[in-house]
Amino acid sequence: MGSKWRWPVAYVLGLYAAAVLVVAAFFKAGDPGLFIDQITAHQITPPSWSPVLAYFFVAVEFLAAAAFIAFVWPRLVFSGTILLMLGFIGTTAYAWAMGYAEDCGCFGRLVERGPQEVIIEDAAVAIACALGLALTRGYRARRWQWAVAAPLVVLSVVLTIFGAALPIDGFIVGLGPGSDLSDIALQGVREPVDEGLVLLAIVGPECPECDAGVEVLKAVVSEKTGPRVVAAYPGTRGEAQTWRMKHLPNFPIANSAPRALRQYYRRLPAVFLLRDGVIQHVWWGSVPRLDQVAHACS
């Protein structure tokens, strides 16, 4: 096969790898806190390394995808991506064998993917890159390709650094109006949240926005005609009671394992207006004002 056919085929393989890398990196960049927790949970490196490793891997994935799209240094990028995928496969396999990777998204918020699926996907990327490496012998990038690569590199750096600040909570978490939260696992609440109109607020420790919003939630309860208010605390029942004693709310405080609740938010607080368990409105990162709640209920 001559270069006329080898290089286009290699480019398509590179685009496949780039698509996988962009999706993975984007979800990690959008919620780096979760990615840091996942790295720590694998118990392969010291917890103090997790923040540095998290941002390093996000940057590497974005930059590799940029290089694949512009198709510059393809042999180097194909080789580096193979090593990256082999590293991910080894890490995931070790954590899975040790029982640290069960039911996790395994590097990112793609929570439906278990360890086995992750290994298969990473292996597919590695194989595609190996084929691409074999097909790019003698390839030289043109000047216009470097011109394409430059803004992509800048975009990669921006997304790595500022991805968590983008107002894309609903997209990253995968929740919005119409989503069903009737199966949310909560303990310590007598009336289920999937009956009637409920304002469910996920709150937590060291959260000034949560503390500031307690008075608003109390006011919603005092309105009588408004929705029923329930707060959900990621922690033990004792920790939830400590939070209750600090704020003395007039609404029930439920609790759940941090890992179970973490899938419903990117940052606290996260407030959901539910009707029979189905989301009607969401407020990310703040407790809504009383008039906002009334308007959403109308």
Whether residue 150 sits in one domain with residue 177: no
Cα separation, 98 vs 81, in Å, equals 25
Count of alpha carbons within 13 Å of 228, Cβ hemisphere only? 17
Number of domains in the chain: 2
Whole-model pTM: value is: 0.87
Whether residue 274 sits in one domain with residue 128: no
Whether residue 10 sits in one domain with residue 157: yes
pLDDT along the chain (298 residues), means of 10: 79 97 94 89 89 96 98 97 95 80 53 74 96 93 94 97 94 94 91 93 94 95 90 95 94 93 93 97 95 92
Q: What are phi and psi of 141, to 5 degrees?
A: -75, 145
User: Which residue pairs, CB below 8 angstroms and at least 24 apart, start in 98-101?
Assistant: 98/43, 100/41, 100/42, 100/43, 101/41, 101/42
Contact between 60 and 157 (Cβ < 8 Å): no
Whether residue 153 sits in one domain with residue 8: yes
Look up the domain containing 72 and give its range: 3-164
Domain boundary among 144, 164, 184: 164
Q: What are phi and psi of 88, to 5 degrees?
A: -65, -40
CATH, residue 250? 3.40.30.10
Cα separation, 76 vs 147, in Å, equals 18
Which pLDDT value is given to residue 102?
A: 54
DSSP 234: E
Whether residue 255 sits in one domain with residue 128: no
